[in-house]
Amino acid sequence: MPNALVTGTSSGIGEACVARLAERGWTVYAGVRRADDGDRVKAQYQGDVRPVILDVTKSDDIARVVAEIAREAGDRGLQGLVNNAGVGVGGPVEYVTEADWRWVFDVNLFAVVELTRAAIPMLRTGHGRIVHIGSVGGRLASPGLAPYSASKHAIEALAEAQRHEFARSGTPIRVALIEPGEVKTAIWDKADTTADEIERSLDDVGRKRYQWLLDESRGFIDEGRAKGVPPATVADAVEHALTAVRPKARYLVGPDAKLAGHVLTRLPDRLRDALVRMGSMRWEKRGRNLSRPHP
């Protein structure tokens, strides 16, 4: 029976991955930050689901979980590591604080690097695979999402470099990058609060200068909630990356991701910029048609 460690499994994509892999007969170590989330996930899905308390920003948690899995897996090693845990930070670049920049990189990049490095010995033993959950935002940065997109650009570089390093060194670990677009998860409900917090963080000049961006953010959130693909669609790609004889290096998930990844990113910069502005204005119009809360 293969086994996998999946991070960020209390909701959304991570929870969908637990459900899919457990159904397929995997032993799934489901990383959660709270015990009650682990109990709920274990009770909700059939199969061998083993919750582990894992805050990916805490080195002690990483060391403890990796040691625990190593003891249980023994000579089998680890067949899958799904780096899903992540956070989103947005706002105008000139107003996003240094603390917020560091926080998004701590979670979305540095924690991924630390956990992956710690798990490599088990993955090497188990001829395992690493699946990084990136974003189409790692290929195409929209206004207001610079910190998040920058962290996902970094994950693109990490996945590509690892792929070459393992192949050239004869290490039997494969690496895949999942790049979803809009996905129907609880992140959109959290994003409503984030948009309000961004507006409250701006001074009067900032609100006047960036009102279009606030409207755009709310329009983007509203569209994502309505049109995003189900998390199970992302789990499909994760399962393929973990089990296929010839897994892809990259998986674009969702119609918006495929449009951006296959078309927009291949265009000349001027045309690409024009189309990004058109999309931004479309979200702005959608956002203006929503009732806008006051800070």
pLDDT at position 192, please? 65
pLDDT at position 294, please? 47
- pLDDT band with cut points at 50, 70 and 90 for residue 19: very high
Residue 286: name the closest of 213, 198, 218, 193 by CA.
218
Q: Answer for the pair 14, 84: CB distance below 8 angstroms, yes or no.
A: yes
pLDDT at 263 over 70: yes
CA angle 227–229–231, rounded 5-degree value: 140
| Residue 170 zone, left/alpha/beta (φ > 0; ψ -120 to 50; rest) | left
SS3 state of residue 28? strand
Pairwise CA distance, residues 140 & 53, whole Å: 33
Write out pLDDT tens, residues 195-227.
Answer: 788 888 888 999 999 999 999 988 888 888 888
pLDDT at 188 over 70: no
Q: Which residue in 29, 45, 148, 251 is the catalytic one?
A: 148
pLDDT at position 223, please? 84
Write out pLDDT tens, residues 57-111.
Answer: 999 999 999 999 999 999 999 999 999 999 988 899 999 999 999 999 999 999 9
- pLDDT band with cut points at 50, 70 and 90 for residue 194: confident
pLDDT at position 227, please? 83
Across 173-178, average pLDDT: 98
pLDDT at 2 over 90: yes
Question: In the annotation, is 148 catalytic?
Answer: yes
The CATH-assigned architecture of domain 3-185+230-254 is 3-Layer(aba) Sandwich (3.40)
Output the DSSP codes for 229-279. Answer: BPHHHHHHHHHHHHH-SS--SEEEESHHHHHHHHTGGGS-HHHHHHHHHHH
Pairwise CA distance, residues 116 & 110, whole Å: 10
Query: Domain ranges in the chain?
Result: 3-185+230-254
